[in-house]
Structure 1
Amino acid sequence: MTENKPLASTDTRAHQQPGFENADLLIERAYIDGRWIDADDKIKVSDPATGRLVGEVPSLNTGAVRRAVGAAAIAQKNWAALLPQDRQQALMRWHEQILRHKEDLATIMTLEQGKPLGDARAEIDYGASFIEWFAAEAVRTNGETMPSHIPGRELLTVREPLGVVGLVTPWNFPNAMLTRKAGAALAAGCAVIAHPSSETPFSALALAELASRSGLPSGLFNVVTGSGQKIVAELCVNKTVRGISFTGSTEVGSAILKQSAETVQKCCMELGGHAPFVGFGDAPVDTLVEAALKAKFETSGQDCLAANRILIHESIYEAFLARFTEATKSLVVGNGFEAGVQIGPLQNDKQVAKSKEHSDDAAEHGARLLCGGQQHNLGGLFFEPTVIADVTTDMKIWREETFGPVAAVCSFSSEEEVVAAANDTDYGLAAYVYSNDLGTTLRMSRALEYGMVAVNSVKLTGPPIPFGGVKQSGLGREGSVHGTDEFTELKYICLNTGSDASRKVI
């Protein structure tokens, strides 16, 4: 492992990418204790739209991860000792840096993740909003006092930072998933070891550079790149790391929980989705079509909030299918840097294969393939936006999260039927309900076994809301006034005031 002073890539390919105001945020190093670190072993990162090499990042060994943890432990003590207002101001400086470099951050994201550039810009704004939110929350990690049950005692609680925390983030939202976690952790007084997906590490590394420019102390925000299996294992068994926050699949989250049990770490998990989208017969069909398109196809369906099962009342089912299929066929697929593109490539071959597998399996079990179902004629990692009708419970797409641009649609006849169908899953992250009847929406909101329910809306996320699921969709909540709770411990203090007052009995 070597230290390298130059921040930006010296490879000309980084400077030849489209859209950069300057390319010094595309950094091919890991970031530990305020220094840019290289290693002999490398991980190549490719543009999913073209297959072109974007760059390489070091594949760090466990020794480097331990070094990062040690540096973070030192930095965290000093950071936690600051006044909350000082942490607030530091986070706001980071927020300002992020917005100042929005275009370059969006370009990096489209290069490594493939989403349309407009969507990438929106994610930068979204991600920055969490830094701003938690900067304000830094001065609100309040405790409480309680009436005493013991004579001569004052009872109170305080919130104290966990210490060093590991943040493990996915490839589908490489900026916002990190800022939502890091903003809360830093506001609470913790230090961060961030481990981004090896498919999209450059967004996290750019955030590290901007954190450095904003004056965050060395060792406070570290980004370690490399094998997820090795790095996460070290974070889970290292006794100095007191918390893990993970966003990703339920399978990986379950494995992390087992590993972290050895050191009894506090864990926050945002896992698989498999969201139902329910449209009742009194909802306008055009409204349902527009909403279902957004709920299903944004980020090419690679979103834990994506509507994986679309359930439409039988009275409007065929009308919905006709208009929804027509609208799906009109979606523009292509390179995220091209104007007008709505659907970018999938992230990797695995996502393409799963989209194809779910489409084929549904067709083999009697579903109607109304459009798509194949690799797009652009080739590579592009997949046709797909609509499958008459989906049943014996199909893979009913049981598994697709994470691709494949819309599975079925009909229902009653409220009781659709509640049972929507809840027929091990997942419970988000659900969508459309109806013009207030009673229906209220009953559905309570009956659906999901952590978040959006009524007559597909836009539900943002800094003020507690993001998280139930069942196998996760543990804990991110964002909102509860977001810092995941990075603090609640300490109870019983204070003897020296009073000899005896208990009076009435």
Structure 2
Amino acid sequence: MTTRTDPRGYPAVRMYIGGAWRESGAQHTAPVVNPATEEIIGTVPLATPADLDDALEAARRGFRIWRDTPVAQRTAILHQAADLLTRRAAEIGRVMTLEQGKPLTEATGEARRVADTLRWHADDARRAYGRVIPSAPGTLLTVRREPIGPVAAFVPWNFPAGGPLRKISSALSAGCSIVLKASEETPATAAALVGCFADAGLPDGVLNLVFGEPAEVSAHLIASPVIRLIAFTGSVPVGKLLAAAAGNVMKPSLMELGGHAPVIVCADADPARAARRAARAKFANAGQVCTSPSRFLVHESRLQDFTAEFVKAAEAVVVGDGLDEGTTMGPLANERRLTAVERLTADAVRRGATVRTGGRRPDRAGYFFAPTVLTDVPEDALMMSEEPFGPLAPIVPFSELDEALAVANSLPYGLAAYGFTESAATAERLSAELEAGILSINHCGGSVHEAPSGGVKESGYGREGGPEALDAYLVTKRVSHLLAG
């Protein structure tokens, strides 16, 4: 790692607290590294306890303002922020590529999508209806849905725009304020997003952005009586720690955690089409997606054709700097991920797996790893039970669908799953029996803002997206009003 400043430019990063941009109170910072070059391109301020207290007080004040702002006015401000996100998508995408590594087209597309997510949630807030319940004469019985209060949100680095915006858009649409702890590895994207809300006229204190040592920040925010909801996207182990901390102070939490998504390619599926679609999803964002297909269970009659087409698709991927024209897969986001995928690959090979393509890092600077396809992968290989979160594709055969379903459901995770079949009856069986919160048949599509996403088992609880997205951020209150007597 070198300290040469990236010649393509990287913006100065600050926290945003109470409507003002600021440095760390103690001037503590951490480096930001371009994963394509391993060069330090900037710094990120790290919050002190005093900074966090300021953010909490700002969120407390901001909640009272935002909660009492008419929903039509809130919606108008959020739409203005969405318009700014759209206009600035190219700029935000470029910053995202510098600090996270994904190809510029992916990054810019992500920035544009989050604007639509914000518009969807802003409009859905106008439909957060209560109801009047028929009751005894002289009694008015109603149900109200009210914002829960200030939210502490924690998001990772793999989707530097998508992760923060799913939390921000839901919280603000519901009428909550929020303290967002974004990733220290992708801070400039988060700051650029927050800047759109500030420029759209969001009242001071409604949205606050901090960075810092994760364990210290989470402990401080979760323990504060100001915070009423914890929202987290990230790994299962960290999610368990945060959920336990929230439980100790009896606060609800929303947990969108990791997975290990199986793909079942049935005997009647088109193997070439299934392989192309699955490979496209596998290598998106260099496999650093919690819903990424990661275990490929292929009927033995389709194994040879599926594998050949998947290898062909993997070898067509152009690995390089995300800012270079023609790149279709960038580097892994950090050295930790590179070390992890090297370890998983070496373990599988040691246990008898065959590397059909890839399996190594190229001879260049940056955290690159070639798109990798493995066959003959034994059940006890670590990549069959550990989420790879990288461009690794283990392919294993099955003979009966019962067998494939048993393998697919054998892990404690249940975020996403995929199936390929031409049979309506088989599709229905996959829908009924696969243990996952998100299931795609004959494609490997990602999350959409108009429908819910979330996991079962150790992949978390609560939903983001669709009308369900606001549920965690709203409190249901029963009001019984005796009108006479």
TM above 0.5, one fold?
A: yes
Return the offset for 1:438: 0.5
The code of the aligned residue for 1:28 comes to V
Alignment partners' CA distance in 2, 1:87 and 1:392: 54
Structure 1 counterpart of 2:386? 400
Return the offset for 1:131: 0.6
The code of the aligned residue for 1:135 comes to A
Quick check: 1:269–1:476 contact (8 Å CA) kept in 2? Answer: yes
The code of the aligned residue for 2:44 comes to V
Tell which deviates more after alignment, 119-128 or 321-330: 321-330
Structure 2 counterpart of 1:429? 415
Alignment partners' CA distance in 2, 1:247 and 1:119: 20
Quick check: 1:61–1:230 contact (8 Å CA) kept in 2? Answer: no
Structure 2 counterpart of 1:243? 229
Alignment partners' CA distance in 2, 1:392 and 1:238: 47
Equivalent position to 2:8, from 4, 17, 40? 17
Q: Deviations over 1:319-376 (max 9, x none)?
A: 2112211221221100000111111100111111111111111111112111111112
Equivalent position to 2:374, from 365, 374, 388? 388
Equivalent position to 2:435, from 433, 441, 449? 449
Return the offset for 1:89: 0.3
Equivalent position to 1:77, from 64, 69, 80? 64
Q: Deviations over 1:191-237 (max 9, x none)?
A: 01011111111111111111111111111111001111111111111
Return the offset for 1:298: 0.5
Structure 2 counterpart of 1:123? 110
Quick check: 1:138–1:188 contact (8 Å CA) kept in 2? Answer: yes
Quick check: 1:75–1:217 contact (8 Å CA) kept in 2? Answer: yes
Structure 1 counterpart of 2:182? 196
Quick check: 1:27–1:206 contact (8 Å CA) kept in 2? Answer: no
Alignment partners' CA distance in 1, 2:38 and 2:384: 31
1:138 aligns to what SS in structure 2? helix
The code of the aligned residue for 1:298 comes to A
Quick check: 1:278–1:310 contact (8 Å CA) kept in 2? Answer: yes
Structure 2, unpaired ranges of 5+: none
Return the offset for 1:413: 0.9
How many residue pairs match? The answer is: 481
1:432 aligns to what SS in structure 2? strand
Tell which deviates more after alignment, 267-276 or 34-43: 34-43
The code of the aligned residue for 2:242 comes to I
Quick check: 1:27–1:205 contact (8 Å CA) kept in 2? Answer: no
The code of the aligned residue for 2:417 comes to A
Structure 1, unpaired ranges of 5+: 1-11, 500-506
Alignment partners' CA distance in 2, 1:478 and 1:106: 23
Q: Deviations over 1:21-78 (max 9, x none)?
A: xx7xx33211101111112110110110012222112111121111101011111101
1:223 aligns to what SS in structure 2? strand
2:142 aligns to what SS in structure 1? strand
Alignment partners' CA distance in 2, 1:115 and 1:44: 19
Structure 2 counterpart of 1:42? 29
Structure 1 counterpart of 2:292? 306
RMSD: 1.5
Equivalent position to 1:66, from 53, 60, 81? 53
Matched, 1:280 2:266: yes
Alignment partners' CA distance in 1, 2:433 and 2:134: 37
Matched, 1:111 2:98: yes
Matched, 1:345 2:331: yes
Quick check: 1:367–1:389 contact (8 Å CA) kept in 2? Answer: yes
1:241 aligns to what SS in structure 2? coil
Alignment partners' CA distance in 2, 1:287 and 1:169: 34
1:362 aligns to what SS in structure 2? helix
Alignment partners' CA distance in 2, 1:13 and 1:130: 34
Return the offset for 1:80: 0.7
Equivalent position to 1:354, from 329, 340, 347? 340
Alignment partners' CA distance in 1, 2:132 and 2:405: 42
Question: Pairwise mapping of residues 209-358 of structure 1 onto structure 2 (< 5 A)?
Answer: 209-358=195-344
Q: Percent same amino acid at aligned positions?
A: 35
Tell which deviates more after alignment, 459-468 or 98-107: 459-468
Structure 2 counterpart of 1:55? 42
Alignment partners' CA distance in 1, 2:340 and 2:42: 27
The code of the aligned residue for 1:462 comes to V
Return the offset for 1:392: 2.8
Return the offset for 1:151: 5.2
The code of the aligned residue for 2:244 comes to K
Alignment partners' CA distance in 1, 2:438 and 2:31: 37
2:389 aligns to what SS in structure 1? coil
Quick check: 1:127–1:177 contact (8 Å CA) kept in 2? Answer: no
Quick check: 2:332–2:390 contact (8 Å CA) kept in 1? Answer: yes
The code of the aligned residue for 1:432 comes to Y
Alignment partners' CA distance in 2, 1:107 and 1:265: 38
The code of the aligned residue for 1:72 comes to A
Tell which deviates more after alignment, 267-276 or 278-287: 278-287
Alignment partners' CA distance in 2, 1:28 and 1:356: 32
Alignment partners' CA distance in 1, 2:196 and 2:471: 26
Quick check: 1:351–1:404 contact (8 Å CA) kept in 2? Answer: yes
Quick check: 1:161–1:487 contact (8 Å CA) kept in 2? Answer: yes
Equivalent position to 2:80, from 93, 109, 118? 93
The code of the aligned residue for 2:17 comes to I
The code of the aligned residue for 1:17 comes to R
Return the offset for 1:153: 2.4
Quick check: 1:346–1:381 contact (8 Å CA) kept in 2? Answer: yes
Matched, 1:31 2:22: no
Return the offset for 1:13: 5.1
Alignment partners' CA distance in 2, 1:315 and 1:410: 12
Alignment partners' CA distance in 2, 1:270 and 1:376: 33
Q: Deviations over 1:216-265 (max 9, x none)?
A: 11111110011111111111111110011100000000000111122211
Return the offset for 1:295: 2.2
Structure 2 counterpart of 1:367? 353
Q: Deviations over 1:117-136 (max 9, x none)?
A: 00001101111111110110
The code of the aligned residue for 1:69 comes to L
Return the offset for 1:468: 0.3
Quick check: 2:13–2:187 contact (8 Å CA) kept in 1? Answer: no
Q: Deviations over 1:281-314 (max 9, x none)?
A: 2211221111111221100000001111011110
Alignment partners' CA distance in 1, 2:337 and 2:302: 32
Quick check: 1:334–1:378 contact (8 Å CA) kept in 2? Answer: no
Alignment partners' CA distance in 2, 1:351 and 1:365: 21
